[in-house]
Amino acid sequence: MNDQKKNKGGEPKGERIAKVLARAGVGSRRAVEEFIRLGKISLHGKVLDTPATLVTTTKGITFNGRPIKDKLPTKLWLYHKPKGLVTTHKDEGGRDTVFAALPSKLGRVISVGRLDLNTEGLLILTNDGQMSRWMELPTTAWKRKYKVRVHGKVNEARLTALKNGVTVDGIKYGAIDAQLERVQNTNAWIQIVIKEGKNREIRKVMEHLGLKVTRLIRTAYGPYELGNMKEGDVAEVSWASMEEYFPSELIGTAPKAERPMKHWEKGGKKPFNKGKGGPRERSQVKPKGSPNRGPKRR
């Protein structure tokens, strides 16, 4: 199945197909391996049965019968996810999804991690599976920052103790920086910073402290912040910003020209579109710590 040219030493030349398809935006390497297991990836008309296949190009590769195009320039977007959307391409329960609500001109994109149905705020999107995986890696150590509204009596000493980590129902969570911001009757706002982002981590830890989360907003992921983006806003990250925060071997070479974003055509699910033009978009984002890079806001 490894229909490959060989190098001078007689060894097969190329890269594992999962890595190549991740760069082409099909999904993360793990997702591509699952697609292969399900028989969705073919090479020159033959269904692949192993992710160990080596390739040098996407030529001849199909996904669900459709040819895979060569890698597009790496792109990154910030999206203000509204409450009530699931972060999946298709929901078996028929619920509204993030990807149906996005502007169609983005093409196929994947999310960096997930936000659950009732969590809102910053969700990062990319067309590159390798980039998504890099941002999610524990070794990258990008912090996730949240504003959390809880119902119940807050014990500040127990909040402070979370910096040492906590175990809930047998699951060990790493250091959590939790700062009480203000109290409103029986409700309170807490700022929380975590590095791991395990499944429903904040909700489970707050419940462990006797607090019920009534609103959860992600305000930052690594160097990128939600800022004044409104629900449904989409903003493309400038190439200058990506050069500053990502390894060069990950993002590749800069495209010939960086064109400013145009107004998107009407998006998918109407309940989350604002006005007649679909989800609002903003021009290139200037992330925290990058004061003089990228085009100005318009």
Average pLDDT, the chain: 82
Q: What are the tokens at 145?
A: 């920052």
Is 177 an annotated catalytic residue? no
Beta bridge partners of 16: 54
pLDDT band at 28 (very low <50, low <70, confident <90, very high): confident
Q: pLDDT tens digit string along 82-117?
A: 999 999 888 888 899 999 999 988 888 899 999 999
Q: What are the tokens at 126?
A: 């990319």
Please state, for a pLDDT cut of 90, what percent of the chain lies above it.
53
CA–CA distance, 101 with 279 (Å, rounded to integer)? 8
Compare 133 and 276 and report the one with higher pLDDT.
133
Q: pLDDT tens digit string along 147-193?
A: 999 999 999 999 999 999 999 999 999 999 999 999 999 999 999 99
Beta bridge partners of 173: 166
CA atoms within 13 Å, Cβ hemisphere of 36 = 21
Eight-class DSSP state of 25: T
Q: pLDDT tens digit string along 238-254?
A: 999 999 999 988 887 66
Selecting among 116, 169, 177, 233, the annotated active-site residue is 116
CA atoms within 13 Å, Cβ hemisphere of 7 = 9
pLDDT at 205 exceeding the cut of 90:
yes
Taking residues 208-216, what's their average pLDDT?
A: 97
CA–CA distance, 34 with 190 (Å, rounded to integer)? 38
CA atoms within 13 Å, Cβ hemisphere of 80 = 20
Q: pLDDT tens digit string along 50-71?
A: 988 999 888 899 998 888 876 6
> How high is the pLDDT of residue 9?
52
Which domains does the chain show, CATH number per domain? 15-67 (3.10.290.10), 76-139+229-285 (3.30.70.580), 144-221 (3.30.70.1560)
Q: What are the tokens at 167?
A: 């175990």
Eight-class DSSP state of 159: H
DSSP E strands: which ranges in 20-75? 41-43, 46-47, 54-55, 61-63, 66-67
> How high is the pLDDT of residue 126?
93
